């Protein structure tokens, strides 16, 4: 097979995923390791337009108001009508989905992309293809870098969830310190109830089979889970699980089982930048007479709540409850102590003539 024929076949297969412009196909060729000029790619696309490679499939081109060409594959079937909003929604989902979830699943996602496009190829996919293919960036900031090991864990956990099987967590280096109610937590048997995506990572959440404590473990190389053939009735535990999950702020395991009425005051500017975010289903923002905002919460107190408040430094003040005030104050004192220790060391070295 000649190099050009092989290249034409690969370009044709790329068209099965969706429309392309010269910029899009050039970027694709570079990522696929195909060494070819943009001028040659232009000729290749026009050649494919004149060929009838498969029955019921046609390569067509469109020219927009800026004289920019778009090539796409149209299928004879596929009458579903989509709006541009629908099409943009698909590309936003594709490009902004979490890196940790999709990076190892590119081939699977591309399969579905081809199937979807085949069904709706006659819609106006070409109208905003430059924006959808080239102008959407996911920074991956604070995203976990998952590999094959973690995705194998996810597949195993999906199996356990689907088949309603008890799992045994035999080891976990990340979460052991958060299991306050267990002196020697592992091995730990749990009813798995949901996969949860939180702050760039996938977690398995459920209840302990012995204490019904809420358990949430992060999918990670350090996590060792053993699947069992012991089945359970998910419906029996679901309401209790949801009540316990809804009580926590984020996913942090609180040191006690209490739920607190919490009042946190935010400065005007800081409050306005944070009140449009979702933090907890109980959240209520109250404008104050001094221009500031009071955040009202009804939830447990855990590590993530303390960290959320500490992030604001002097822009945030806890009013209630006293236990949360004390925790935040303790955290701030510990932080100051770290820097004061550095100052003491520097002063000693200076006095010693270093």
The whole-chain average pLDDT of the chain stands at 89
Among 66-70, 107-111, 177-181, 254-258, whose mean pLDDT is lowest?
Answer: 177-181
pLDDT at residue 180, as a whole number: 52
pLDDT at residue 353, as a whole number: 52
253 falls in which pLDDT band (50, 70, 90)?
confident
The pLDDT of residue 344 is above 80 = no
- What does 124-180 look like in DSSP terms, one character per residue? -GGGGHHHHHHS-----TT-----HHHHHHHHHHHHHHHHTEEEEEEE-TTTGGG-T
pLDDT at residue 262, as a whole number: 97
Domains of the chain: 3-134 (no CATH), 148-247 (2.30.30), 260-337 (no CATH)
Q: What percent of the chain has pLDDT over 90?
A: 62
The pLDDT of residue 144 is above 70 = yes
pLDDT at residue 80, as a whole number: 75
Partnered with residue 196 across adjacent β-strands are 203
pLDDT at residue 182, as a whole number: 56
pLDDT at residue 123, as a whole number: 87
The pLDDT of residue 348 is above 60 = no
d(CA 197, CA 200): 7
254 falls in which pLDDT band (50, 70, 90)?
confident
Model pLDDT for residues 31-53, shown as the tens digit of each residue: 999 999 999 999 999 999 888 88
pLDDT at residue 342, as a whole number: 67
Sign of the four-CA dihedral 338, 341, 346, 347: positive
Model pLDDT for residues 270-329, shown as the tens digit of each residue: 999 999 999 999 999 999 999 999 999 999 999 999 999 998 989 999 999 999 999 999
Helices (H) and strands (E) in the chain, counts: 12, 11
Sign of the four-CA dihedral 152, 155, 157, 160: negative
């Amino acid at each position: 097979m000649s190099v050009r024929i092989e290249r034409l076949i690969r370009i044709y297969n790329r068209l099965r995923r969706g429309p392309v412009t010269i910029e899009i196909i050039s970027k694709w060729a570079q990522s696929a390791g195909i060494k070819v000029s943009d001028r040659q790619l232009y000729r290749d696309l026009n050649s494919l337009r004149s060929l009838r490679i498969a029955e019921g499939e046609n390569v067509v081109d469109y020219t927009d108001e800026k004289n920019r060409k778009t090539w796409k594959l149209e299928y004879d079937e596929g009458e579903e009508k989509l709006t541009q909003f629908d099409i943009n929604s698909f590309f936003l989902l594709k490009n902004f989905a979490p890196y940790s979830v999709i990076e190892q699943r590119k081939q699977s996602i591309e399969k579905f992309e081809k199937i979807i496009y085949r069904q709706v190829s006659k819609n106006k996919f070409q109208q905003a293809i430059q924006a959808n293919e080239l102008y959407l960036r996911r920074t991956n900031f604070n995203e976990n870098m998952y590999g094959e090991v973690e995705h194998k864990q996810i597949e195993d956990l999906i199996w356990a969830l689907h088949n309603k099987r008890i799992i045994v967590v035999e080891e976990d280096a990340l979460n052991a310190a958060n299991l306050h109610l267990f002196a020697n937590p592992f091995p730990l048997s749990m009813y798995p109830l949901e996969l949860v995506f939180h702050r760039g990572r996938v977690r398995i959440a459920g209840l302990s089979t012995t204490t019904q404590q809420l358990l949430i473990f992060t999918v990670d190389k350090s996590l060792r889970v053993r699947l069992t053939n012991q089945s359970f009735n998910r419906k029996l535990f679901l309401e209790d699980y949801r009540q316990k999950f809804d009580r926590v702020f984020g996913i942090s395991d609180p040191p006690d089982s209490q739920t607190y009425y919490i009042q946190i005051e935010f400065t005007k500017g800081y409050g306005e930048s944070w009140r449009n975010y979702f933090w907890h289903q109980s959240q209520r923002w109250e404008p104050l007479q001094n221009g500031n905002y009071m955040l009202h919460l009804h939830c447990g107190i855990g590590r993530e709540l303390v960290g959320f408040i500490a992030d604001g430094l002097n822009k945030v003040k806890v009013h209630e409850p006293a236990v949360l005030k004390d925790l935040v104050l303790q955290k701030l004192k510990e932080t100051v102590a770290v820097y004061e220790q550095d100052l003491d060391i520097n002063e000693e070295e200076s006095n010693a003539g270093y």
